[in-house]
């Protein structure tokens, strides 16, 4: 059996390797961030996680036989799934499971990038929305001081676990089990607000609770993969402005009450046509960010493989439009069947053409201006032409 001293040494060496890996990955870390990652133990917050095996998941808890491999995984630069369909890994049986991940510990390089953008210093009043495992909250405590950190999660179970793990390290931030969309008005104003869950639009309460000249770092995501992270500064007039960060991110959505499922029509009957654009283009994170800007907020996308063929379906519940996109095999292009008042795939085709004409612009070349009522992504082309899209 491993001794406590040996465990402490092994975990500290793992944190050193993680910090070096983050530096090699191109993440520019400040001295205080390096100290945070060196001193805050990730394994305290992720004592077990789900290991993916194809379409199934199995809880992984360390044993003496695989302790080194488990430690390497915990301190690797990967997201670790901690909950499936609301079942926390510590409550799960030791067997294969299926389901949709509902909570995870974010990849450390992405955490570092967002924390660097947040620009936290000692004494900064910080709100985190999406406590999850509590690991990010612990890093915030190291940077700002635990008494200045408030973290919110809608799950009583996750908030309770995080509170206990933080306390085991002598950290006592305010941990709330509440609706993250409402923020924490009783603790406002905040100098810094960071979300570790995605939203379609920034909630009004976050604007209200951010102090003037404060910073917000918020993942924004619609139905497509490869969302964006916005970094904004609160302006004196109550609005906020900033840029989209370079890193794509697909954070789990902010939970705020029940989410009724959308029943998507099969879309097999309608107008049939050919397209030179395959449905799989929406799996390209460099394009899906741009494509999302051209989709209405009510449009959802599903995709599957049918007899080895990639099949994409777009559906806008607002007007009943459906596009069924079946990729050709072999070669590019697809067969498209559309129904309803709009050709949803034509909107994606037009977006793709515009994206190519603009020379595939990167996320970090886009700006964001936002108020509680209107949030706009902007881009200025080299020829001076200005493009805007409302979220």
Tokens 């990730």 belong to residue: 42
Q: Please give the model's pTM, rounded to 2 decimal places.
A: 0.93
Each residue's pLDDT tens digit in the chain (391 positions)?
Answer: 455 888 889 999 999 999 999 888 777 788 899 999 999 999 999 999 999 988 899 999 988 678 899 999 999 999 999 999 989 999 998 899 999 888 999 999 999 999 999 999 999 999 999 999 999 999 999 999 999 999 999 999 999 999 999 999 999 999 999 999 999 999 999 999 999 999 999 999 999 999 999 999 999 999 898 799 999 999 999 999 999 999 888 888 897 444 556 788 877 789 999 999 999 999 999 999 999 999 999 999 998 888 788 999 999 999 999 999 999 887 789 999 999 999 999 999 999 999 999 999 999 999 999 999 999 999 999 999 999 999 9
Q: Is the peptide bond before 330 cis (omega within 30 degrees of 0)?
A: yes
For β-strands 174-177 and 80-84, DSSP reports them as unpaired
| Residues present in the chain in total | 391
Q: Which two tokens stand for residue 48?
A: 């077990």
Domain ranges of the chain: 4-92+102-244, 271-357
Q: Chain-centre distance of CA 204, in angstroms?
A: 19
**Is 4-92+102-244 a CATH 3.40.50.720 domain?**
no
**Looking at domain 271-357, which of 1.10.3470, 3.30.160, 3.40.50, 3.90.1200 is its CATH number?**
3.30.160
């Amino acid at each position: 059996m491993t001794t406590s001293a040996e465990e402490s040494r092994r975990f500290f060496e793992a944190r050193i390797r993680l910090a070096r890996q983050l530096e090699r990955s191109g993440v520019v870390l400040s001295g205080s961030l390096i100290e945070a990652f060196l001193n805050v133990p990730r394994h305290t917050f992720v004592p077990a996680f789900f290991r993916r095996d194809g379409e199934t998941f199995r809880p992984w808890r360390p044993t003496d036989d695989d302790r080194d491999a488990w430690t390497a995984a915990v301190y690797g630069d990967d997201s670790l799934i901690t909950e499936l369909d609301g079942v926390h890994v510590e409550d799960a049986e030791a067997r294969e499971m299926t389901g949709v991940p509902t909570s995870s510990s974010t990849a450390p390089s992405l955490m570092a990038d967002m924390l660097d953008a947040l620009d936290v210093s000692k004494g900064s009043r910080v709100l985190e929305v999406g406590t999850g495992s509590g690991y990010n909250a612990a890093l915030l405590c190291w940077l700002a001081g635990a008494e200045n950190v408030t973290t919110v999660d809608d799950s009583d179970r996750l908030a309770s676990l995080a509170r206990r793990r933080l306390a085991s390290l002598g950290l006592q931030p305010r941990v709330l089990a509440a609706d993250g969309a409402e923020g924490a008005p009783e603790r406002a104003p905040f100098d810094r607000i960071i979300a570790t869950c995605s939203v379609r639009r920034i909630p009004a309460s976050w604007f209200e609770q951010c102090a003037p000249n404060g910073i917000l770092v918020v993942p924004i995501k619609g139905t497509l993969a490869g969302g964006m992270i916005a970094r904004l500064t609160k302006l004196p007039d109550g609005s906020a402005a900033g840029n989209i960060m370079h890193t794509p991110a697909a954070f789990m959505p902010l939970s705020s009450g029940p989410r009724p499922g959308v029943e998507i029509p099969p879309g097999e009957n309608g107008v049939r046509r050919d397209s030179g654009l395959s449905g799989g283009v929406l799996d390209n994170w460099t394009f899906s960010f741009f494509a999302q800007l051209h989709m209405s907020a009510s449009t959802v996308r599903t995709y599957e493989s049918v007899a080895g063929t990639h099949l994409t379906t777009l559906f806008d519940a607002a007007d009943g439009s459906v596009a069924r996109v079946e990729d050709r095999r072999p070669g590019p292009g697809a067969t498209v069947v559309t129904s309803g008042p709009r050709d949803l795939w034509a909107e994606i085709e037009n977006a793709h053409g515009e994206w190519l004409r603009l020379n595939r612009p990167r996320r970090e070349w886009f700006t964001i201006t936002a108020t509680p009522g209107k949030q706009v992504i902007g881009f200025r082309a080299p020829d001076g032409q200005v493009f805007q899209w409302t979220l």
